Structure 1
């Protein structure tokens, strides 16, 4: 009988109990959304890039960028932490495989979520992984607000590759977001024409 590496309750033969495993899955799903919202928060909504805001209690101007958000995103901290966990999980599960190349936060979160059953059952450091991912989510929510704004599902990506294949990945955006990049194919939606084309070419069941 093991104890859950996160809540320390008895956990049959797993390193994460079912509840903590579900919590880890939810956190992995939320991290890319929270990261996008942090990007939106970089410029405080009440100020523009051209404004200079006086720093409370200090002489001189301060940057129009939100310094708390800059600290949170320093050196891609969230993405770097998640990628290191992906590297370690792959190292333990497939020792003969080489280290995975950088793939971006969303891809690393998806990969870990797909391996979650193995992680909960076989990965000794599963509790530490769940704890650190939870800490990342908590720190991000402390800036963007809790609960975080829910993403709006707009449909599926209508970008077409050189072979004529439509991407088809789900496209979501945060409320008020005017520019987004498809996490699968990389196409950027930002102009009025982009949004009109996205809406026009949706399958009937999505539109």
Structure 2
């Protein structure tokens, strides 16, 4: 057994990018495709949040219900064919499987990571991207599947996708009295906001007013 085997991986030996064939000096992805993969991993959680907004009737502002598409007769507001194939649950499952496999290859003696939302798994993969590009034989397939998830989402939300509006920082307080402080943003029409860091959810108009009221003075 080699030293590389003991660490759970073998060094990259491919001479070219698995997506375009460009010489990479032994990396599985060229710099251009590595950068694209990093951006897609960063964009996926936002895209699939917007997918969820598109597949259900929107609520505009903080309480007023408005229609997003015309409908004839008592049809369901959900496009069930789309819902079956393009949704955040499926995207989260796909990304979770990639995270599990990358961890299996890199740290074969580690147990499976705790369940996490799509954003957390995308962030984990992005943080490991340098290693993935250098050592992970599935890097090309990972890049292809992430791109496919992005394309599927964009068929729903449009291109370019709506960008989030920054509202401020999370004002939730933990059991020790420490304010979270993570950035809180929302997409157009989104009314239920969940802090990606601490998990606190802002649901009502009162929650929004509280969020805005307790922003640091310099932010205001």
Q: Pick from 110, 118, 132: which aligns with 2:123?
A: 110
Q: CA deviation at 1:205?
A: 3.7
Looking at structure 1, the residues matched to 75 and 17 of structure 2 have their Cα atoms a distance apart, in angstroms, of 46
Looking at structure 2, the residues matched to 91 and 64 of structure 1 have their Cα atoms a distance apart, in angstroms, of 41
Gap runs ≥5 in structure 1? 55-60
Q: Could you list the structure 1 runs, at least 4 aligned residues long, displaced by more than 6 angstroms after superposition.
A: none
Q: CA deviation at 1:135?
A: 0.5
Question: Aligned-residue CA RMSD in angstroms?
Answer: 2.0
Q: Secondary structure at the residue paired with 2:168?
A: strand
Q: Deviations over 1:41-67 (max 9, x none)?
A: 11255748xx9744xxxxxx5322132
Q: Partner of 1:175 in structure 2?
A: 188
How many residues in Structure 1 have an aligned counterpart in Structure 2? 199
Q: Partner of 1:160 in structure 2?
A: 173
Q: Partner of 1:100 in structure 2?
A: 113
Q: Deviations over 1:119-174 (max 9, x none)?
A: 11111110100110010001100111110001111121110011111111111110
Shift of the 98–34 alpha-carbon distance from structure 1 to 2, 3 Å rule, reads same
Q: Partner of 1:6 in structure 2?
A: 19
Q: CA deviation at 1:72?
A: 3.0
Q: Partner of 2:44 in structure 1?
A: 31
| 1:13-162 mapped onto 2 (5 Å cutoff) | 13-44=26-57, 47=67, 53-54=72-73, 61-73=74-86, 76-162=89-175
TM-score, normalization by structure 2: 0.83
Does structure 2 retain, via aligned residues, the 8 Å contact 1:5–1:125? no
TM-score, normalization by structure 1: 0.88
Q: Partner of 2:204 in structure 1?
A: 191
Shift of the 168–43 alpha-carbon distance from structure 1 to 2, 3 Å rule, reads same
Instruction: Report which stretch shifted further, 33-42 or 191-200.
Output: 191-200
